Structure 1
């Protein structure tokens, strides 16, 4: 939120192989040991797990699964049609927000993972993390259901520059909702435009999209990313404060305020920083 805001492949020989080279001659021994070693290298190159970072969008997760399982692009997204994921009714079958960031094994009980097994594991993990009594109670305290709390957490994950800022960003969201103000979060515009940037233009804020939180009131219709536990904790227990605005002027310097004039000065400083380093982007 800123409110204008020759090949290089080398044959690695075992110690025994090096001794054989000395004893029997490089060509013969090299041939003998190179084949099994290259085969072993191919096996080693197969990934054994898939890491989903906090804040990835569903599209990024699908692409990572395709790559990890050496599938044609688009395979994982297509597999959604075959799945009956345990998602909240409000999600209407869209797993955004529920592809929980964690490390998932690609091999289990001798079986290679599939897109279906990985997506199911991610949603099951999200349900374990989000469906407990503390989350439900925290959401209720803020007049939300759990799916809406996940949506808030996804914005927090996308907007907070540091983990320490997460609770404050969540508080800004709630303060604006309570006052009937549009959220005006750049992260929702980025989601609508399928990009990641810290530059949001005035034209961007006029796009026609249910994710345009500059023009539409309330929360976006779905989460905009897959939040981790800390972002969820912030969403259900936001830091106390009266802030309505924030902007990360430069790395490590996010300023929160309830005063619009002060915020405008902070934004002016942010814009000056951007001009000084025009290539800066998230």
Structure 2
């Protein structure tokens, strides 16, 4: 968003600065899954009794949290996926992204990664396969997996829950018009990062998640959305918006006019130049 991109690539659908929310989620989950320490003269502290998965965490973050909670070698939870016999739709092709439902899961001495991952997916299926969500997806001429994918974008992009329905509408409007989504959140997912700054070089990466270069939805969800994002995905609010940008925290502007959007982007860029740099994540 800080650069002059040719007209087609310059259209920016800027996501929220999720640093605060993600940071909070990490603290909450970190508290729940903190790895016990050995101290001189003391026995090992008790294992945590619950695992908190915040809304919007990616599968990679969930796997890491499971490994920490169960004191396992990093990568163990991810490797456990094939043996967990997860009830995923065929479209997922064995990838649980989008189905590791954000909630609090109890831990016991007998907890294993396969069991935890299965609980998350089973919870997602209970939430998603009920009449409101499944019927809402059908009403919008999409299957459930597509609805979850849209919800994951909404979760990543919306600054507030109040913005979610409008972000969802932008997604639908651009899909209906045959426009690329051009969501920075999908590029961040491809690059395994979270940032407010996306460069022209970033928008040219070769990836099925590059929604600047590829049409339609990404091949999978890009995180694990919560209930509010799912509701927004199946009930987008009415509107003709095609663009949005979070000019500053609490001020996300939606527009149907590209010239208006450019002015909003210019204001965002000005704010970024004067903002206090945030710690590197």
Provide the TM-score with structure 1 as the length reference: 0.84
Equivalence for 1:48: 49
Distance 1:43 1:271 in 2: 48
Distance 2:270 2:13 in 1: 12
Distance 2:274 2:210 in 1: 28
Equivalence for 2:70: 69
Inter-CA distance 4–55: structure 2 relative to 1 (3 Å threshold): closer
8 Å CA contact 2:13–2:244 kept in 1: the answer is: no
Q: Deviations over 1:173-223 (max 9, x none)?
A: 000000000000000000000000011111111111000001100000000
| SS of the residue 2:105 aligns to | strand
Equivalence for 1:237: 235
| SS of the residue 2:152 aligns to | helix
Distance 1:112 1:270 in 2: 50
1:147-186 pair list within 5 angstroms: 147-186=145-184
Q: Deviations over 1:17-40 (max 9, x none)?
A: xxxxxxxxxxxxxxxxx96xx34x
Q: Unmatched 5+ residue regions in structure 1?
A: 6-33
CA drift of 1:143 comes to 1.3
CA drift of 1:43 comes to 3.6
Equivalence for 1:26: none
Q: Deviations over 1:76-111 (max 9, x none)?
A: 11111212110011000000000000000012xxx5
Distance 1:265 1:124 in 2: 45
Does 2:87 correspond to 1:78? no
CA drift of 1:144 comes to 0.7
CA drift of 1:4 comes to 8.2
8 Å CA contact 2:159–2:250 kept in 1: the answer is: yes
8 Å CA contact 2:180–2:212 kept in 1: the answer is: yes
Q: Unmatched 5+ residue regions in structure 2?
A: 2-10, 15-39
1:120-159 pair list within 5 angstroms: 120-159=118-157
Distance 1:278 1:170 in 2: 30
CA drift of 1:279 comes to 2.1
| SS of the residue 2:240 aligns to | coil
8 Å CA contact 1:4–1:200 kept in 2: the answer is: no
CA drift of 1:278 comes to 5.8
Does 2:117 correspond to 1:116? no
CA drift of 1:267 comes to 0.3
| SS of the residue 1:255 aligns to | strand
Equivalence for 1:90: 91
Equivalence for 1:215: 213
| SS of the residue 1:112 aligns to | coil
Q: Deviations over 1:159-185 (max 9, x none)?
A: 001011000000000000000000000
| SS of the residue 2:246 aligns to | strand
8 Å CA contact 1:4–1:202 kept in 2: the answer is: no
Does 2:105 correspond to 1:101? no
Equivalence for 2:21: none
8 Å CA contact 2:84–2:115 kept in 1: the answer is: no
Please report the RMSD computed on the Cα atoms of aligned residues, expressed in angstroms: 1.7
